[in-house]
Amino acid sequence: MTSNPVLVNPDPHLCAGNGECHQPAQAIPADIQETIVLAGNPNVGKSVVFNALTGLYTNVSNFPGTTVDIPKGMLPDNRLLKDTPGVYGISNFSEEEFVAEKAILSGDKIINVVSALSLERDLFLTQQIIDYQKPMIVVLNQMDEAENKGLRIDVPLLQALLGVPVIPTVAVTGKGMSDILPQLTKAALGNPMTDCPDPEALRQLEDNPGRRLQTYGSRRQYVNSLVRQVVSQMEQGQHFSLSRLMGQLFLNPVVGLVSGLLVMLILYQVVGVWIAGDLVALTEETLMLGYVVPVIQKLVGSVIASNSPIYTILAGEFGVLTMSMQYIFGVLFPLILGFYIYISLLEDCGYLPRIAVLCDGLLNKIGLNGRAVIPMILGFGCVTMATVSTRVLTSQRERTIASIILAITIPCSAQIAVIVALMALAGGLKAWGIFIGMLSLIMIGLGTVLNKVLPGKSTSLMLDLPPMRMPQMKNVLRKTWVRTVVFLKEAAPLFILGSLLVSVMQVTGLLTLTERLLTPITVNLLHLPSEAAQIFIMGMVRRDFGGAGLFFLSDQLTQGQILTALLTIALFVPCIASFTVICKERGLKESALTLLGSWAVAFLIGGLTARLIEWTHIL
């Protein structure tokens, strides 16, 4: 009756993991009347319950002394609700268990969410909280899936045996959710195990690794006896059989590989081609550049002379009011909206974890786990959006590795279009072989170095694999909208700042100066014409600008020079949109190091490629 222990809950709790909230913030008053703590195992629907009770309006902060996020939200009557990490038990053997234990022991009342699909597993934590004598209620979630599985649960008997209120729910549809808060008034201490010592002695006992097994074994036997009394098997339903069959097939190496490739191709086609290409062409070029930007320029020009520096800063090519609006609403909004809809569907149907399982072994070799497959594939559509998607990774270390690999080694769809167009001029299959081989080696080498240098190690995926289920579109759309709106609220000031910086550089001549400073590098190191410096400068603004510049310069270049320039641009500094998002996601220090590292890698590999081609005459 326990679920397959494979993968962590794919829901990233809408947070970047750096202490920043990615949900609308709600003011937390100082005069809290009561603190309620939400506790439960992974994959029991705890996040859905938390969002339903708080209305998705939460604050998130790190637990003191840790990097673990604690979402908080207000309940009626001035009560505070705290979420906790999904854990199987409370102790101090890991950061998550330490945080969960401290939060539970400090709470006034506990809402313990358990899955009706895995009572043997989940009631262990329930009984542990009861043994610690904390007033609590139990939310028995996923009752619909238990019925489809053929399980009959005697809820009144379970309530009597535990000694606490038990509320059956189906959180994704809202069934039973309205009963949770009224039942909090009936929170009870529950029935501790007969051989359980007092709560303080129990905590000391379970914090001792050598003696922990004494209580673990007896509690496990006690919980198993409870489950045998309250759970019986009915005839299995057809829906569950189909769900189970699909879940098993998608983990089969052959079926899983084919389906995974198909899902990734659809993701690339939807987000990387249709949205990043066709839809963004409509929203950015037709709507923003065709209508909105000209209106802004006309309004600014009516009060400021069009040849003045202030006009250039406000409404010029890189203007604060023009380029930032163009990016935010013409590029980012459709990209983020489309990405979150797709990812939310994969999350809620239970398929996203299975993709991660299939790729876990390969990605572990470069310091990542299976979850990183989503940002990596999405990066070929838009590195900016892929950087946002690193939030699905579970540790700061993995987010750092993924963000750096994305920024340096993965070309976006705009660059890929130019690369495809120029490869025939660069030497066809030979050029493709060198290009893909170099990028692959750099990605593997960079990931390996980062994996060795950064402290820690890749997190394991040996947790719960949720069942396959039909996504609830109401939940998908609500989650998508909240994530999209909040991301734009956070990103907009940084994009405006980036536009201001570039436009000031243009007005003061620093942009031209930077171009001149790059000329010796492009000529002496990369063996390219001096005009090639322009493509790197424009690539800093937008990657497709740099690619387009190379396309127009290609008639002046040899095959070897085209390939050298393509490799250098692909590895060069991410565009201002990507860099701004990296700053927001990873912080200024890490972003600056990524920026400098991308310059070093790009010019080093470009220089080596130029000399390799000259020495071998391969092109």
pLDDT digit string, tens, across residues 236-269: 444 445 777 777 788 777 887 788 778 767 876 7
Q: Which residues are 151's β-sheet partners?
A: 233
Higher pLDDT, 111 or 195: 111
Q: In this structure, what token pair is assigned to residue 123?
A: 């009631």
Residue with tokens 């990873």: 586
- As to burial, measured by CB atoms within 10 angstroms (0-12 exposed, 13-18 middle, 19+ buried), residue 12 is buried
Instruction: Map residue 174 onto helix, strand or coil.
Output: coil
Query: What CA–CA distances, in Å, run from 442 to 59, 359, 373, 407, 447?
Result: 39, 19, 17, 12, 8
Residues 547 and 128: their CA atoms lie apart, in Å, by: 60
Give the pLDDT score at 298: 92
Percent of the chain whose pLDDT exceeds 70:
80
**AA letter at 61:** S
- As to burial, measured by CB atoms within 10 angstroms (0-12 exposed, 13-18 middle, 19+ buried), residue 613 is buried
Question: ∠194-202-124 over CA atoms, to 5°?
Answer: 65
Q: In this structure, what token pair is assigned to residue 214?
A: 């004494």
Question: pTM of this prediction?
Answer: 0.60
Taken in order 286, 289, 290, 293, the sign of the CA dihedral is: positive
pLDDT tens, position by position, 148-197: 778 889 999 999 999 999 999 998 888 998 899 999 989 999 898 866 66
DSSP 291: I
pLDDT tens, position by position, 197-215: 666 666 666 666 555 566 7
Mean pLDDT of 373-379: 78
**AA letter at 606:** G
Percent of the chain whose pLDDT exceeds 90:
14
Lowest mean pLDDT among 25-29, 290-294, 412-416: 25-29
Residues 196 and 360: their CA atoms lie apart, in Å, by: 41
pLDDT tens, position by position, 596-610: 888 888 889 989 989
Residue 57 C-beta-side C-alpha neighbours within 13 Å: 7
pLDDT tens, position by position, 36-91: 999 998 878 888 888 888 875 444 433 333 335 677 888 878 888 988 888 888 87
pLDDT tens, position by position, 507-552: 888 877 877 887 888 888 988 887 788 778 767 766 666 666 677 6
Q: In this structure, what token pair is assigned to residue 102?
A: 């401290």
Strands 34-40 and 136-141, bridge-based pairing: unpaired
CB 546 within 8 A of CB 535: yes
